[in-house]
Amino acid sequence: AAPMSEKRINHTVTLLLDGKVLVTGGGKEDGPFSKTAETYDSGTDTWKTVAPMTVSRSFHTATLLEDGRVLVVGGRGKRMLAELYDPVTDVWSSAGETEMARAEHNAVLLLDGRVLVTGGLGLITESEIYDPVANEWSTGSSLKIGRYRSSTVLLSDGRVVTCGGIGPDGILASSEVLASR
């Protein structure tokens, strides 16, 4: 495939509803981080630079919403401002602020269209839920063990499993199941 317009590490890659791929942010391990974004069209094997995010991000999450927009949350550098990307209009808009700055966290689309954000650097136990209809954040279920660099997946019954990662005593084998209240 054709190369991206710039070198990237610790960025996100999101498959859009139209089949294109959105790549956001990244940068060197300890900065500077990038606020650039681009899309890949596999049909033409081409990359296109799109509107940049409001802030630079690395170690963030990007979640495809049911309506085709992409929610981008967190990143190193204590990022609390969340953003929404609309690929139809190529415009970024505010998705409010999270209660806590998050990086190396997880985000998962819930069955009802909301997004659950868990964990992060600093061993965050609190989770937050973004409602794209109301454009609001609320508190979600708490993890028993704060963790970052873990993996999270939505189960078919609506619960969320978070497993592994790094916790207070190092690398974790533990898993937790959260209700998506």
Report the alpha-carbon angle 30-33-36, nearest 5. Answer: 160
Query: What mean pLDDT is predicted for residues 75-88?
Result: 96
Does 181 have pLDDT greater than 90? no
| CA pair distance 54, 25, nearest whole angstrom | 11
Does 28 have pLDDT greater than 90? no
pLDDT digits (tens, 9 = 90+) for 138-168: 999 999 999 999 999 999 999 999 999 999 9
Cβ proximity of 130 and 74 under 8 Å: no
| CA pair distance 119, 128, nearest whole angstrom | 9
